[in-house]
């Protein structure tokens, strides 16, 4: 996918009207980022109202409108990129709607004509330019005249509800066709691998991994000997957690594949047709 198309789709993601994207409540784990993003956007809006289009060069350079990974970008109601403090700076002056197919272009242009004066937000999935991974992103934007100003932040950590939903999805798939599901998990099928959420499965008769959505080197190894990042025997602890029950939970320290740091993880465990199936979420 060429750069123009990628950024055009990115702009689409920020605007209401596309079925794939929806306004959503702020994830509690990201209250700080959300507050910073709203504050930066409001600062940019106030500055733009004072300076008009002369604010664009200020938005597009390192300085007062860059907050770590947060930056401001602006597109007009014709779909032209006017300013950006991030990687899309190279698209300034381009009509990004020109690369869209007719249907998407119609939706995009409709979205660009939304009323002004209200800060809106949307959540979607997009490639993080810093690590090249597709991650969730939450964005705030507001129309001012015929300009739309926006600021967004990535959400690399999933939440408990998303972990439970993925466990339900994996459990249903394993009940229907375990071998095909294990292959899909090991092949990093996006149905079972989302941001820092992934599925792993263990055969309870052999106590060995049959699938792992992050580290394929674990497949076939002894689950009972699995240890956490701080040396705790978490494999045996997980087996103990589901002894005499169909479900269980365990908290432990494990490496987050998105942040590449050891973080606290909470795993939901379930017995499914002779397998231990698990999905966990990371917390700070």
Tens digit of pLDDT for each residue in 59-70?
998 788 999 889
Give 73's strand partners. Answer: 84, 150
Closest CA to 147 of 98, 61, 83, 74: 74
pLDDT tens, residue by residue, 84-141: 998 778 778 988 666 555 644 664 565 566 778 889 887 766 667 666 666 777 888 8
pLDDT at 19 over 70: no
- What is the reported pTM? 0.59
pLDDT tens, residue by residue, 262-284: 889 999 999 999 999 999 998 86
Mean of per-residue pLDDT scores for the chain: 83
HSE-up (13 A, CA, CB side) for residue 88: 28
Residues 6+ apart with CB under 8 A from 210: 182, 201, 202, 203, 219, 275
pLDDT confidence tier of residue 27, bands split at 50, 70 and 90 = low
Longest Cα–Cα distance of the chain, Å, equals: 70
CB 197 within 8 A of CB 163: yes
Q: Which residues of 35-67 are buried (b: 16+ CB within 10 A; e: fewer)?
A: ebbeebbeebbebbeeeeeebbebbbeeeebeb
Which pLDDT belongs to residue 111? 57
What average pLDDT does range 187-192 have in this prediction?
90
Q: Where are the alpha helices (DSSP H) in 114-213?
A: 160-176, 178-186
Which pLDDT belongs to residue 32? 86
Which pLDDT belongs to residue 228? 95
DSSP state of 95: B
Q: State percent of the chain over pLDDT 70.
A: 78
* Domains by residue range for the chain, with CATH: 3-155 (3.30.450.20), 160-283 (3.30.450.20)
What average pLDDT does range 162-170 have in this prediction?
96
Which pLDDT belongs to residue 16? 39
């Amino acid at each position: 996918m060429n750069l123009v198309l990628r950024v055009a789709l990115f702009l689409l993601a920020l605007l209401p009207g596309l079925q794939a994207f929806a306004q959503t409540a702020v994830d509690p784990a990201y209250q700080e980022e959300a507050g910073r993003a709203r504050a930066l956007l409001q600062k940019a809006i106030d500055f733009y109202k004072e300076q008009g289009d002369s604010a664009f060069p200020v938005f597009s350079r390192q300085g007062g409108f860059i907050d770590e990974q947060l930056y401001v970008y602006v597109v007009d109601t014709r779909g032209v990129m006017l300013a950006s403090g991030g990687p899309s700076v190279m698209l300034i002056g381009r009509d990004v709607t020109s690369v869209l197919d007719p249907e998407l272009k119609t939706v995009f242009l409709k979205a660009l004509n939304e009323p002004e004066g209200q800060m809106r937000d949307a959540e979607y999935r997009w490639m993080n330019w810093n690590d090249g991974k597709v991650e969730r992103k939450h964005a705030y934007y507001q129309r001012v005249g015929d300009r739309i100003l926006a600021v967004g932040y990535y959400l690399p950590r999933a939440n408990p509800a998303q972990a439970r939903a993925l466990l339900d999805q994996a459990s249903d798939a394993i009940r229907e066709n375990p071998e095909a599901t294990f292959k899909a998990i090991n092949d990093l099928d996006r149905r079972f691998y989302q941001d820092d959420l992934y599925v792993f499965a263990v055969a309870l008769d052999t106590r060995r991994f049959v699938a792992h959505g992050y580290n394929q080197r674990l497949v076939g190894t002894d689950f009972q000997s699995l240890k956490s990042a701080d040396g705790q025997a978490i494999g045996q602890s997980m087996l103990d957690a589901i002894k005499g029950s169909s479900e269980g939970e365990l908290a432990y320290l494990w490496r987050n594949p998105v942040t590449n740091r050891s973080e606290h993880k909470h795993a939901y465990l379930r017995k499914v047709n002779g397998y231990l199936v698990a999905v966990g979420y990371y917390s700070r």
